[in-house]
Amino acid sequence: MPSRNKKLKTKIIYAILSSLAVLAFSLIPAAVFSSCGISSGQSQWSSDYVRSRGSQDPDAPGNPREPNAGNKNVDEPGENGGADGSGGENPDFTSPDFPVYEINPRFNDYLNINPDIVGNIIIPGTHIDFPVVYNGDNDYYLKRGIYGEETKYGAIFMDMTNHGAVLARNTVIHGHNFNEPDKGIFDYGMFADIEKYKSEEFFGANKTIIFNNLYSDMEWEVFSVYVTSEDDYYIMTNFDSENDYVDFAELIKSKSMFDSDYEPRAGDYMITLHTCSYEFRHAHTLVHARLVKKTDNISER
């Protein structure tokens, strides 16, 4: 009997340890990338901020309050005034003059693959040419590709505090970076080429980013790149006032490794590209760009 009890205890202890090992292993990948600040925990600060002030309607077709509807350069992005670009007035959605946004047909095949796709991003001079997905959960696409397959590369995805195809004042886009040349790891997939912007020559010669959503083609101009810690609050996507937006834009411009002639203005829009970095523990590389050209896909009534 003592021998049988001893064997039973051994089996129980082994089962417990095995279960703990499986649980720990399942948490490792998410924990590792959480240290890069892309998990839902990192977005808690901005999530609280968004909840405290409300948000735009994520189901709206396009963003009915976006300024500069139509085809134009965004040289005077603040002309409509108002923190949401509406000039402080409620738009008349029934007016025949009110624009009706339509999904660009180029995204039809993408949407047949995955309805979470909300746009695409291309950076000339890099390997970056990917669809962008949005799920409302920053953990969902950490280890899942656009086809739903499990992959360590995940997908290029929009932060959960954004609103998918509805353009926010600061659209934050995340992607993995597994490239560590100092350790002999050469992996240029996903957002690894964001690191190129830490070269002053590349920064000066490759200012244009193409980020299109379902309803608009857009060009963006890079104005800031820097390495920061997980405590930074770059995931700020909505603002109480134009002054808050301008202050935020000036702050991230001041952090840049290199100078830019961009002067933040009321009514501007920006994108933030985020990936892991390896200068120190929990480091991130951030690239910020401002909207300079926007062509909307508007239907005729």
Question: Is residue 133 scored above 70 in pLDDT?
Answer: yes
254, 232 Cβ separation under 8 angstroms: no
| Domains observed in the chain | 35-299 (2.40.260.10)
Q: What is the pLDDT of residue 44?
A: 32
When pLDDT is averaged across residues 156-174 and rounded to a whole number, the result is 92
Each residue's pLDDT tens digit, 168-191: 999 999 997 865 555 554 456 788
Each residue's pLDDT tens digit, 193-205: 888 999 999 999 9
Q: Which residues of 153-187 are buried (b: 16+ CB within 10 A; e: fewer)?
A: bbbbbbbbbbbbbbbbbbbbbbbbbbbeeeeeeee
Among 80-89, 236-245, 279-288, name the one with the lowest average pLDDT.
80-89
Residues in Cβ contact with 254 at an 8 Å cutoff, skipping those fewer than 6 apart: none
pTM: 0.71
295, 71 Cβ separation under 8 angstroms: yes
Q: What is the pLDDT of residue 66?
A: 42
Query: What does the block give as tokens for 129?
Result: 């040419």
Direct distance between the N- and C-terminal alpha carbons of the chain, in angstroms, rounded to an integer? 86
CA 140, 66, 288: angle at the middle one, nearest 5?
A: 55
Q: From the centroid of its chain, how far is CA 293?
A: 19
162, 134 Cβ separation under 8 angstroms: yes
Percent of the chain with pLDDT over 70: 61
CA distances from 14 to 8, 9, 18, 192, 221 (A): 10, 8, 6, 41, 57
